[in-house]
Amino acid sequence: MLTVDNISLYYGAAQALRGVSIAAEPGKVTCVLGRNGVGKTSLLRALVGQQAISSGTISFDGHDISKLKPYERARRGISFVPQGREIFPLLTVEENLKTGYAPLKRADKTIPDDVFALFPVLNTMLGRRGGDLSGGQQQQLAIGRALVMRPKLLLLDEPTEGIQPSIIKDIGRAISYLRGLGNIAIVLVEQYLDFACELGDNFAVMDRGAVKFSCDRASLDPAEISRQMAL
Ligand SMILES: Nc1ncnc2c1ncn2[C@@H]1O[C@H](COP(=O)(O)OP(=O)(O)OP(=O)(O)O)[C@@H](O)[C@H]1O
Ligand SMILES: [Mg+2]
């Protein structure tokens, strides 16, 4: 339902994506792996429309969305958990969650029960300012906010980065639960290989703006992925 075909992206004269193709399907986790600076975030920015692509196509639910504005893609059900979380520090947890209402119709403007079932800490901290939460709690808040939008496609940019192990487990359980629902396609950008290998159905390793290795779960060899990431 997401098909990215041969996209390229430039920052001025510098090329950050070189003919990248990936796909994502409901009920599946597509993992995008690679070292720092290889273009993982640029790929997600291209998908949500924060950066224009110069060639190739991004199609979602059978429509070419390459030229749509970010809010139009959000309305179609594309939701983004950005690297570094980008929660609003001065808004409360509840207000942060409600920023996810923006693309929704009035009748849908509620916080789904799932969010608090997955991350109970958010319920106990509803009135606290986002900036007062720990890094791990902020990451849970960022994922919760993305779920408020009822995504059909959920994009996660290094959700385990700088997060303590117990919360990494909670985030892993949440991704696994969302995958099990069967109606959400998930793209997980990671450098934490073990985490990605546990959750992923498909794997793409990027290097210098291009996908240089890919495989599915059936042929997954973590040692080979690790080798590809280190090259
Ligand atoms: N706004 C920008 N303007 C110019 N160059 C950029 C910009 N954002 C990223 N780049 C460059 O594009 C390349 C890819 O960056 P990107 O952030 O997509 O990598 P990444 O794989 O997400 O890295 P990391 O793992 O460190 O998050 C890098 O060389 C980076 O310096
Ligand atoms: Mg990045």
Reported as a single tens digit per residue, the pLDDT across 133-179 is 999 999 999 999 999 999 999 999 999 999 999 999 999 999 999 99
pLDDT band at 13 (very low <50, low <70, confident <90, very high): very high
Per-residue model confidence (pLDDT) at position 134: 96
Whether the pLDDT of residue 202 is over 90: the answer is yes
* Closest to 25 measured CA to CA, from 200, 146, 143, 159: 200
| Two structure tokens written together for 187 | 């793209």
> Average pLDDT, stretch 25-42?
98
* Centroid of ligand 1 to alpha carbon of 9 (angstroms): 11
Tens-place pLDDT, residues 204-223: 999 999 999 999 999 999 99
- Separation of alpha carbons 48 and 59, rounded Å: 12
Distance 107 CA to ligand 2 centre (A): 35
Report how many domains make up the chain: 1
The predicted model scores a pTM of 0.97
Instruction: DSSP letter for 116, please.
Output: H
CATH number of the domain within which 184 lies: 3.40.50.300
pLDDT of residue 74: 97
CA–centroid distance, residue 43 to ligand 1 (Å):
10
Q: What is the pLDDT of residues 101-122, one digit of tens each?
A: 999 999 999 999 999 999 999 9
What does pLDDT average to over the chain?
Answer: 97
* 13 touches ligand 1 (CB under 6 Å): no
| 19 CA distance to ligand 1 middle (Å) | 16
Distances (CA, A) of 155 to 13, 41, 86: 27, 10, 14
Q: What is the pLDDT of residue 179?
A: 98
pLDDT at 172: 98
Check: CB of residue 204 under 8 Å from CB of residue 211.
yes
Quote the longest CA-to-CA distance of the chain: 50
Closest ligand by atom to 47 CA: 1
Tell me the residues surrounding ligand 2 (ion) with CB < 5 Å.
40-41, 83
pLDDT of residue 5: 98
Q: What is the pLDDT of residue 140?
A: 98
Atom 9 of ligand 1 has which residue's CA nearest to it? 42
Q: Whose CA is nearest to atom 4 of ligand 1?
A: 11
Mutation probe of ligand 1 site: the residue of 7, 15, 38 with most atoms within 8 A of C-beta: 38
Expressed as residue numbers, the domain containing 44 is 2-230
Q: How confident is the model at residue 231 (pLDDT cuts 50, 70, 90)?
A: confident
For 69-98, how does the pLDDT look when each residue is reduced to its tens digit (9 = 90+)? 999 999 999 999 999 999 999 999 999 999
**Residue 38 pLDDT > 90, yes or no?**
yes
pLDDT of residue 154: 98
DSSP 28-80: -EEEEE--TTSSHHHHHHHHHTSS--SEEEEEETTEE-TT--HHHHHHTTEEE
